Amino acid sequence: MKKKKVESKEIQKPEKPYAGNILATADFLENKAVIWNETEANRVFSEKFFGKWITEEKTKYLQLSLEDTMMLLERGFIDLKVKKKSISVGDFYKLCTEVDSEFPQKYTVYHDLRNRGFIVKSGFKFGTHFRVYDRGVNPYKEGSKETKEHTKYNVHAVPENHTMSYQEWSRYVRLSQNIRAKALLAVVDEEGDATYYIVRRVRP
Domains observed in the chain: 2-200 (3.40.1350.10)
106 three-class SS: helix
Distance CA 186, CA 5 (A): 10
DSSP string, 123-148: -GGGTSSEEEE-TT--TT--S-TTTS
pLDDT, tens digit (0-9, with 9 covering 90-100), for 150-201: 788 999 999 988 877 767 767 777 777 777 788 899 999 989 999 999 888 7
Nearest C-alpha neighbor of 114 from the set 155, 164, 149, 147: 155
- Average of per-residue pLDDT across 17-41: 87
Nearest C-alpha neighbor of 184 from the set 172, 204, 198: 198
